[in-house]
Structure 1
Amino acid sequence: MSLTPDLLSGPWFWLAQAGYVFFLLFAVYRAPWKTLFNNRQLQHLFLGAAVALMLLWQLRAGISPGLAIHFVGITVLTLMFGWDLAILAASMALLGLTVVGQENWQSFGVNGFCTIVIPALVSIGILRFVEAKLAKNFFVYLFLCAFIGAGLASISGGLSMAFMLWINDVYSLEKIHNEYIQYLPLIMFPEGLLNGIIMTAMMVFHPDWIRTFDAKAYIDEQ
């Protein structure tokens, strides 16, 4: 879902850049740096997640520039680390892809906004809704936050990318629909399945790796 500077320009391009910088700086401010610096295991998980996401994002398919589809994986990071560290880890992955030449420096911010910030906010929004409105249940958390949440996060990032291309008159709405939007639902299930499998394994074997999962509340008190 990468964008290049020759595809986008104008106020929407710069608004997305500014939005990414704002949330990145807010994530830096909110991140639990003391815990991260003092917890060697958390450091390994954080850096490992960034590397894994970088490798995952290299698997993409598409026809026209800017209309490529790939796994997002932000929901797992958001549930593991919280939205703040998820944005930082994903930004490191995007930085790595940019350094090796698979992404463009000029559009780093807008790529980050559509691919990282929006999916992270959707994921944390669904989590907060589940926590506030529904009973604390292992399967509710897994199905709604991990499986459904990942699918909605991926399609929200894809739709934001499509909107950016349409509002800037890069492609016609018909072309965007035919080459991109109509395929987004096809990625929702595998995206949800991938995130769900990873979260299930961690919830069973390493619940302490998940910052947003309280095993005592979700399992022990059931």
Structure 2
Amino acid sequence: MMTFMFAIFAFAMSLDKVQYGALFRNSQRQIGILSCALVMALLWQVQAGILPSLNIHILAVTAVTLVLGWRLSLLSSLLASLLCYFFASSEINFSSFWLLNGILPVYISYALFVVCYHYLPRHFFIYIFVCAFISGGLVAALKIILSAVYFWSIGLYDWQVLKDNYMFYSVIMWFPEAMLNGMAITLLITYRPHWVRTFYDKEYLDR
């Protein structure tokens, strides 16, 4: 119950009347959110794991956050989590699944973007390699670590089991997650830069 309340609170923080009003009037933006949700749901279904609930999969949340912004990314992650919940082959706990795979990665991804935006040079390659590539890998690693802490805190597994069977994946998953997010953002800002909400042409290209 506490997990569900925390997830709802974290999502409620993203609600913005102006942005959602624009969303309801813009069919292209609606398609973008649904497309991102579908891609994430498909990637989240391609997973591996040794023990129940200790699943490893590509998140792609960092790329989605850079494309949609944090508010709409939370909405897209909600839709992706609902798709996984209703169509998953195994039973999942919706609130913890949404929190660990959607909400926390979105907030971490956007926080890393904000830090890069304010403290690093605003350059095309900085955006690709730091905001997308490195941040994507860090988010994947932190997601696994936070998931391990959560499963330990609720008593699902003891710490030694998590350390031996789950946490070492944070090192293994760093590179594929970084590659996917980096490649996706590279293609988008090369061919469809206007689709990427956090990419500003005048700041990243006129340098």
TM-score category (smaller protein): over 0.9
Deviation at 1:31, TM superposition (A): 7.1
2:12 is aligned with 1:28: no
Deviation at 1:169, TM superposition (A): 2.4
Give the TM-score normalised by structure 1.
0.88
Distance 2:48 2:199 in 1: 33
Distance 1:151 1:109 in 2: 24
Deviation at 1:84, TM superposition (A): 1.0
2:19 is aligned with 1:39: no
Within-5 A mapping of 1:188-199:
188-199=174-185
2:193 is aligned with 1:207: yes
Match of residue 56 from structure 2: 69
Q: Name the amino acid aligned to 2:23.
A: L
1:85-114, CA deviations, whole angstroms, 9 ceiling, x for partnerless residues? 111101101101111244647x21121111
Stretches of 4+ moved more than 6 A in 1? none
Deviation at 1:145, TM superposition (A): 0.8
5+ long unaligned stretches in structure 1: 1-13
Match of residue 108 from structure 1: 94
Q: Name the amino acid aligned to 2:129.
A: F
Q: Name the amino acid aligned to 2:143.
A: G
Give the TM-score normalised by structure 2.
0.94
5+ long unaligned stretches in structure 2: none
| Alignment: residue pair count | 207
1:15-56, CA deviations, whole angstroms, 9 ceiling, x for partnerless residues? 332221111222233671232223232222111111111111
Question: 2:3–2:95: 8 Å Cα contact kept in structure 1?
Answer: yes
Distance 2:165 2:85 in 1: 25
Structure 1 residues 189 and 18, CA, compared in 2 at 3 Å: closer, same or farther? same
2:85 is aligned with 1:98: yes
Percent same amino acid among aligned pairs?
A: 29
Please point out which of 159, 182, 196 is paired with 1:173: 159
1:110-160, CA deviations, whole angstroms, 9 ceiling, x for partnerless residues? 211111111111111111111111111011111111011111111222111
- Which is bigger in relative contact order (C-alpha 8 A, separation at least 6)? 1
Q: Name the amino acid aligned to 1:90.
A: S
Distance 1:103 1:96 in 2: 13
